[in-house]
Amino acid sequence: MPVHPIEFRYRYPEMYAVFTEEAKLQSWLDVEVALAWAHAELGTIPKAAAKEIERKARVGVVKVERVKEIEEKTRHDLLAMVYALQEVCEGDAGGYIHLGATSYDTEDTALALQLRKAMDIIEGDLKALLKVLLDKAVEHRETVCIGRTHGQHALPMTYGLKFALWASEVGRHLDRLAETRKRIEVGKMSGAVGTMASFGGKGFEVQRLTMKRLRLEPALITNQIIQRDRHAELQCLLALIAGTMDKVGRELRNLQRTEIAEISEPVRSPSSTMPQKLNPSNTERICGLARVIRGSVNASLESIALEHERDISNSGMERINIPEGLILTDYILRQMTGIVKGLSFDADNIERNLNMTLGLILTERVMIELVSKGVGRQEGHELMRRLALKAWEEKRPLRQVMEEDEEATRLVTPAEMDEWLDPHTYIGTSVEQVDRAVAELKKKLQ
């Protein structure tokens, strides 16, 4: 029976398939095939042997179950794969498998193959989310709502501005992913401790030809392993993506609070005991899983400092950390895309909240307009502070209090009050900012 919830709950099949035992074994076999052909091209082994190794290096011919049986005896999973492949190869081909390589020549290079597929999926996820965020930004470019700072009503803004802001962050993640790929899609063939001594003077060519076949960059220099700063960078990227999903999820959750109720995610969960309740469980789940993804960073950073030319303390952690981080990141990105796409908006509640403070959110505007009429900034600020305090204490609209104040009526005409106290006309360059951001970010979808 499965134990980890990834096995039955928090995953999508495409990413999960990248990290199955079968997929890992096939990646190992692909590396062994590439190594055999490199040797064949250099005349180190017969081409017929490389052809036979390629014919048999397939999951199904080399079975996961058989590799595990052999591992029970060898206590070494990579060596067990080599023996299992050798068993099915005809003639003397099996004797040329893994020639000159150390375990992590195969394992780290194979991991790069898996990570390339995983990053392809993450890139697709980010672009899909970016598209729906841009669609929402355009749809709500002029939907005026209250902006909040420190949990308090601040100034009017638009929902389009929120979505465009989130889209810009997703765009930066795409940029970071493109940079990270350069340092992740790298393989090695350098033998034990990295000297290439086992390749008899042909080490650079063995490595170059092997990586050419696998479409990976040859590492510039290694010891027995690919250095773990590369993998830590990927985990940090996943944590940054998770941070954005946490931020968006938290905002969407808060906007669904009973006392705010401006939006609703497409599917909400009922309470087991309170019939009236519908809970934002999907966004809550995203926020919770984001903590798991972020929590993996420290272990990855710790694995940079391996001892001497290598130790195995990174191995067990990475078997958990790397698949878990990528599977969960894929999951929360796809979940968020569906949530954002299906959001519904309550126009009445948006308008209610916009006017909840009885016009006090426009005091900054009135002060600035007064300055443009020749009133000193501090004088205007003190006037509006006094009137705002009175309006709040008496629970009356700011407009009423201004109309009763001698100083205010001397400085502000009724027509100016109509304009200055309309929150829909004090959104600055919100619409223009959305349009500029959308135009720029759409280039990342091409």
Q: Which amino acid belongs to residue 100? A: G
DSSP SS3 for 76:
coil
- CA 163 to chain centroid, in Å, comes to 16
Q: Of 4, 76, 269, 271, which residue is the catalytic one?
A: 271
Exposure of 421 in the CB half-sphere (CA atoms within 13 A): 21
Distance CA 219, CA 231 (A): 14
186-187 and 217-218 beta bridge pairing: parallel
Exposure of 125 in the CB half-sphere (CA atoms within 13 A): 26
CB 148 within 8 A of CB 157: no
* Length of the chain counted residue by residue: 446
Q: Answer yes or no: 150 catalytic.
A: yes
> In which residue are the tokens 């209250």 written?
146
Q: Of 150, 272, 308, 372, which residue is the catalytic one?
A: 150
Distance CA 414, CA 219 (A): 73
Looking at residue 147, what DSSP letter applies? Answer: E
Q: Which amino acid belongs to residue 144? A: V
List the helix and strand counts (H, then E) for the chain. 19, 8
Distance CA 322, CA 313 (A): 14
Q: Answer yes or no: 173 catalytic.
A: no
CB 443 within 8 A of CB 173: no
* Catalytic positions: 150, 271
